Chain A
Amino acid sequence: MMAFVKLIARNRLAAFGGIILLLIILLVLITPWLPLADPNVTDTANRLLPPFSDNHLLGTDALGRDILSRLLWGTQISLAVGLAASLVAALVGSTIGIVAGYFGGRTDNTLMRGIDMLMAFPYILLALAIVAVLGPGLMNALYAIAIVNIPFFARNIRGVTVGIAHREFIDAARLSGKGNLRILTSEILPNVLPVIIITLSTTVGWMILETAGLSFLGLGAQPPQADLGSMLGEGRKMMLNAPHVATVPGLMIFLLVMSINLLGDGIRDALDPRLKSGALSRPAPFTRIRRRRNSLPDPVNGNALLSVERLQTDFEVGHETYRAVNDVSFAIHPNECLGLVGESGSGKSVTALSLLGLVASPPGIITGGRVALEGRDLLDLPPRDIRRIRGKDIAYVFQDPLSTLHPLFRVGDQLVEAIRQHQPMSHAEAHERAVSLLEQVRIPNPERRAEQYPHELSGGMRQRVGIAMALANDPQLIVADEPTTALDVTVQAQILKLIQSLRREKGSAVLFITHDFGVVSQICDRVAVMYAGRIVEIGPTQAILDTPRHPYTRRLIDCVPRLGEPDNEPDAIPGLPPAANHIPEGCAFAERCHLVEDACRQGDIELIATDADRQVRCIKPLSVTEPSTPGVSR
C-alpha cells in the first residue's frame, strides 16, 4: 500500500491532481463550520452582486443568495451524488461481470447480451429516458447515471474474470471443496479488484460531469436544493449580464473533474504497469549515436565491402546501461557470406541492426566504433544519406515475416514501394518488376500472389516475399536476421537453398545471423561466434567446425543434432549468459566453462590470432586434439 502511494506521489501530475482533490474534499467537509451565509436565504436587495463584494466573496445570484456558500454546499452534493453513482455502477457492474465471467456459458451469454443492448444506446440518451420515466430529481439522476455506467464495469471485469476463471488456483480451490460463492469472494474478487479500481478511478470524473449535466438541464437537483450543475443552469439564464453566476460553478466542476482525471490516470499507471508511459516510448527513425571522437579506431584499409570496427551499442533503461554490442569488429568481402552465431541475447541482432541505425532508440544508443561501407563511415552520414543506403546498398531480411510485413498492404504493393523508393519508375513498371521478383524467389503464380495480403500466405511464402523485398534493388549486402527460425524444418531447408542460389546469381554478400551451427555449416563461408555482446571466435566455417578453439564454440557445435548418430543427444549448455548490465571482468563465459581457471576472471581478454585468418578470445584456446566436452559421447 505504501509502495502504491509512493508510486502515485512520484507521478507529479497525479500528485497534483490528488492534492487539488484533497483540498476540495477538505473544504467541503468543513463547510458546515465555516462562517458562511445560509445558501438558501434570498436577499433581493443584493441580487447579482459581482465577485469581491463586501460579505460576498464570489458575489450573489439572481435571488441575492451568496454564491460562495452555494458553491461549497453544491460541491458537496455533486461530489456525493457522483461518488454514489460510481459506487452503485461499480458494485452492480462488477457483480454482473464477475458472475458472467466465472460461470460462463449461458449465464455469460444472457448477461452480456443485455449489457450489449445497454451499450447500443448513445450514453446520455439512455439516462434521459430513465429520468423521463422516473421524473426529474437528484436521486433519479443518480440512478440514471449509475445504470448507464454499469456496462463499462461489467465488460471490463468480465474480461479479467474470464482470464483467471480457468487458472490452476481456481481449480485447486474448487477441488478443495470451496463453494462458488467462496471462490468468487476469496479467490476471484481479490484478483479483479485492481481492475475495478482502475475502471472506477477513470470513470468517477466522467460520472460527476454527467450528473452535473442532468442537473444543468433541470432534470437533477430541484430548487431550492442546488448542486453545481443546477447552479450552472440557473446562471445560464443571466449569462450575459452577470457572467460570474455561471462561470464560478463551471470552474469548480472543471477543477473537480480534472483533478480526479489526473489522479485516475496516475492510479491506472501505478496498478497497470503495462500502460506506463515509459514502456511505450517511440523508436526514433535512427538509432541515437553518441561516440566520443577520440575513441574512434583508425580506419582499416582493405578491400572489404563492409567493415565493422569496435562497434559498441548500449541500451539505456532508467539508470542501467545494458551493453548489447561490445567492441565488435568484423569485415565482409564482396559476395561473401559471413555467419554471426550465438544464443539469443548475445547481441547478434543488435549488431546487425546497428549497421544502418535500426536499433530501437530509445533505449538503444550506438556509443562507439565505425561501420564502413566501401570505406564510408555510415555512422557519420546524415539521415538522408543513410536512407538512400537502407534497402538499396544494404537490405534486411527479418526473422518473423508475419510481424515484419505490413499487415494491411498487398504483398505486391509492399514490393513496389521498396522498388520505387530507390529507382525512379512508374507504378506499372515497378509492379512488373515486383512480380518478377516473386518469380525469382520461386513463388508459384506470382501475379496472383502479388494481389494477396501477408496473412493469406504461408510462413514459407511470406519469408520468400521478405527475401524478394530485400532483393528489390540488387543490394551489395543482404543482412538476414534469423530468416529461417520461425519456419519449420523442411521450409527452412528450402529457404536456405534459395538464399544460397540467389547469392550465386546476384553476387550479393550476406551477413547471416542464426543461433544454429547446422544452418551455418550449409551456407556461410566464414563465421563469427558472439557471446555476451562480444565476438569470441571468428574464422572460416569449415576450420571452426572441425577444430573450434573457444570452449563456447565447441559447446554450440555440440548442440547440433547429427543425422545417423542417435547417441549424439543435443546438449543444452548449462547456465545462463551474464546479465548485460553486469558483465563480469575477464571472460564472460567463465561461469559456464568447464575449463575455467582463475586467470579467466581477470583483466580484459583480447581476441588473439591462432591460425592464419582465425581469431579467438580465450587465454587457453582448445588445441586441435582436445577431446569433446564431457557429457557428450561421441
Chain B
Amino acid sequence: MFRYALRRLLLTVPVLLGLSVIVFLIMSLIPGDPAQAILGSYATPENLERLRADLGLDLPLPQQYLVWLGNILQGDLGRSYALNRPVLDEVLERFGATLLLAGTSLVICILLGVLAGIVSAIRQYGWSDRIITLLVLIGISVPAFWLGMLMIMAFSVGLRWFPTSGMTAAYGGGGILDILHHLVLPAFALAIVAAGVIARLTRSNMLEVLRQDYIRTARAKGLGEGRVVMRHAFKVALVNLIPVIGVQAGFVIGGAVYIETVFQWPGIGRMLVNAISTRDLLLVQGGVLVVAASYVLFNLLADLLQHWLDPRIQA
C-alpha cells in the first residue's frame, strides 16, 4: 500500500507539469502584448517594462516557460492589477470558501446519489425506481444556475427559510451556524446534477454486481437480502464508483462557478468570472492553476482509496 501510494504520488508530478504547460500555452495565446493584456490599458510604461522582464518575454517560448514555472514554484503567482494584491493571497482566501461549498456539495451528492441508486436498483421497475429515474432525469437536465434561482425564489423569498445570498450575514454574522444557514441552498443546488449522475451509475453498477456469481454464493450461504445488498454487492459497486466520484468532483468544482455567481458566494468561481470580465489575467491564471492542482490531488486520493478497498489492484 505504501509503495503504491509513493508510486502514484510520483506519477502525479508529470500530470501537474503537463497541467502547467497547458495553462502556460493558453496564456501565451493572448493576442498582442501579454504585458499590456495582464496589466490592463492604464498601465505605466515602467510597469510594462518591468513585467516584460519578469516574464522573460524576450526569451524563446521554452525558456519563458521555465522562468514562469520557477516563479510559480516559489509561490509567486504575480499581482492582480485590479485588486492590487498578490494573486496567491486572493486565491487562497477565496479557495477556502469554494472548498467548503464544493466539499459539502460532494458529500450531499454522494449520499443522495448512492442512496437513490441503491433503492432504484433493488426496486428495479417498481414505483420507487420509476420516481427516482424521473428525478434523476430532471436532475441531469436542469441547468444548475436556474435551479439555484428557483430555490432562492422558493425557499428564501417565498418561505424565508434561508438567506438569499452570501456566506455570512452582513451584520453580526460569521458564526458556524450562520455559515451553515447560508450554505444549505447553494450546496444542494450544486449537488443535484452530480447526484443524478451518481444515482444513475450506482443503479447500473448495482444491477451489474447483483448478477454476479458471488452474490448467488452469498445467497446460497443463507444471508439475508439486506446483508447481500449492502455488504456484498455495495462494496464492489462502491469500488467501481470511486473513479466516477472523482470525475464528478470535477463537475462539482466547475458547477461552483455558476452557483457562486447565483448565490453571491465569495468563492474562487465568482472570483474567476469577475477576473475574466475585468481581464485580470494573472488572477485567472492563478485561480485555474490552484483549482486544477487540487483537483489532481483529489483524484490521487480517490485512487488511493480505491486501491485500499480493492486488494486486486496491484501496485
A residues sitting closer than 8 Å to B (CB atoms) are 113-114, 116-118, 120-126, 128-136, 205, 209, 212-213, 216-219, 232, 235-236, 239-240, 243, 246-247, 250-251, 253-254, 257-258, 261-262, 280-283, 285, 353, 356, 358, 360, 387-392, 395-396, 398, 400, 403-409, 417-418, 421-422, 453, 455-456, 469
Contacts and interface: CB of A to CB of B under 8 A. Distances in A.
A123 to B, nearest CB: 5
A239 to B, nearest CB: 6
A40 B140 CA distance: 32
A67 to B, nearest CB: 15
Among B21, B143, B223, B250, chain A packs the most CB atoms within 10 A around the CB of B143
B146 A253 contact: yes
Nearest to B293: A120
Given A121-B288, A236-B262, A282-B121, 18 more contacts: A117-B15, A123-B254, A124-B257, A125-B257, A132-B279, A132-B284, A136-B276, A213-B257, A216-B145, A243-B153, A250-B143, A261-B140, A280-B208, A285-B228, A353-B216, A390-B219, A390-B222, A408-B312
B125 to A, nearest CB: 8
B221 A469 contact: yes
Interface string B233-276: 00110010000000001110111011001100000000011011
B213 A403 contact: yes
B222 A120 contact: no
A62 to B, nearest CB: 16
A219 B275 CA distance: 11
Given A125-B254, A283-B211, A422-B222, A113 B18 contact: yes
A421 B223 contact: yes
Contact of A408 (B18, B257, B288, B311): B311
B213 A213 contact: no
A121 B288 CA distance: 9
Contact of A358 (B18, B146, B220, B250): B220
A255 B56 CA distance: 51
Contacts of B213: 398, 400, 403-404
B71 interface: no
Nearest to A243: B153
B198 to A, nearest CB: 16
Interface stretch (B25-33, B82-90, B174-182): B25-33
B224 interface: yes
B212 A403 contact: yes
Given A121-B22, A133-B26, A406 B257 contact: no
Given A113-B18, A129-B284, A254 B216 contact: no
Given A253-B146, A408-B239, A396 B217 contact: yes
B22 A388 contact: no
B152 interface: yes
A205 to B, nearest CB: 7
B312 A212 contact: no
Given A121-B292, A124-B257, A282 B207 contact: yes
Interface of B: 15, 18-19, 21-23, 26-27, 29-30, 121-122, 124-125, 137-138, 140-146, 149-150, 152-153, 157, 204, 206-208, 210-225, 228, 232, 235-236, 239, 249-251, 253-255, 257-258, 261-262, 272-273, 275-277, 279, 281, 284-285, 288, 291-292, 295-296, 299, 309-312
A135 to B, nearest CB: 8
A358 B251 CA distance: 41
A403 B272 contact: no
24 contacts: A117-B18, A117-B19, A117-B22, A118-B22, A122-B251, A205-B141, A213-B143, A219-B273, A240-B157, A250-B146, A258-B141, A283-B210, A283-B215, A285-B228, A389-B222, A391-B222, A403-B212, A404-B214, A406-B214, A406-B236, A408-B235, A408-B309, A453-B311, A453-B312
B288 A129 contact: yes
Nearest to B210: A282
Contacts of B216: 283, 353, 358, 360, 398, 404
Contact of A134 (B29, B224, B225, B232): B29
A418 B279 CA distance: 65
Among B152, B221, B236, B288, chain A packs the most CB atoms within 10 A around the CB of B221
Contacts of A124: 251, 253-255, 257
Contacts of B149: 232, 235-236, 239, 246, 250
B245 to A, nearest CB: 14
Contacts of B291: 122, 125
A273 B124 CA distance: 19
A240 B152 CA distance: 9
A114 B295 CA distance: 17
B221 to A, nearest CB: 4
Nearest to B225: A285
A293 B22 CA distance: 73
Contacts of B255: 124
Contacts of A422: 222
A117 B21 contact: yes
Nearest to B257: A124
A253 B255 CA distance: 16
Contacts of A129: 23, 26, 284-285, 288
Contact of B273 (A217, A409, A418): A217
B310 A408 contact: yes
B214 A239 contact: no
B15 A418 contact: no
A212 B143 contact: yes
B284 A261 contact: no
Given A282-B207, A283-B211, A403-B213, A390 B221 contact: yes
A254 B224 CA distance: 42
A400 B296 CA distance: 39
A136 B272 CA distance: 13
Contacts of A390: 219-222
A311 B207 CA distance: 29
A241 to B, nearest CB: 10
Contact of A257 (B21, B143, B152): B143
Contact of A404 (B125, B204, B217, B249): B217
B142 A285 contact: no
A397 B291 CA distance: 52
Contacts of A232: 143, 145-146, 149
A236 B160 CA distance: 18
A395 B152 contact: no
Given A117-B19, A280-B207, A217 B257 contact: yes
B116 to A, nearest CB: 16
A209 B251 CA distance: 13
Contact of B272 (A128, A395, A407): A128
Contacts of A406: 214, 217-218, 232, 236
Contacts of A456: 311
A456 B222 CA distance: 26
B145 A391 contact: no
Q: Which 10 A-B pairs have the closest CB atoms?
A: A124-B254, A250-B146, A258-B141, A390-B222, A391-B222, A117-B18, A122-B250, A391-B221, A403-B213, A122-B253
Nearest to A205: B141
A216 B214 contact: no
Nearest to A400: B213
B141 A123 contact: no
A209 B239 CA distance: 30
B102 to A, nearest CB: 10
Contact of B29 (A133, A246, A283, A418): A133
B211 A360 contact: yes
A106 B120 CA distance: 44
A47 B18 CA distance: 51
B143 A209 contact: yes
Given A116-B15, A125-B254, A281 B124 contact: yes
B295 A282 contact: no
Nearest to B285: A129
B211 A282 contact: yes
Nearest to B204: A280
Contacts of A133: 26-27, 29-30, 281
Contacts of A250: 143, 146, 149-150
